Structure 1
């Protein structure tokens, strides 16, 4: 009996590098870099209040790329 605990690679694992539907939607907005920075900030700080600059950069990008009209987004 082998003590090797590594799993063999499956096609599911190999496909992990491929963009999924969420990634494709984010890329289509033209603001994926801003979205990544916003999420990274939240992941690091666990408090959206500490990520106001990243959120504002994402919001501005969203508007500049015309996503408000495309998705019928409304500011509160």
Structure 2
């Protein structure tokens, strides 16, 4: 597995985790838990944006990684 594909796999996993956290926040009735899930989802979003930036950088440096 190449570095490019590993980074893209990680990005997909992060997006899945973020979606799960957002879903948990919507489903819970506990306000403390809701805030915790929302905060974790926001933190994950920041990481997703950073990793997406790295993916773009990889694709620009190594065109063979595009589309994986």
TM-score, reference length from structure 2: 0.39
Which has the bigger relative contact order, CA under 8 A and spacing at least 6? 2
TM-score, reference length from structure 1: 0.36
Structure of higher CA gyration radius: 1
Greater fraction helix: 2
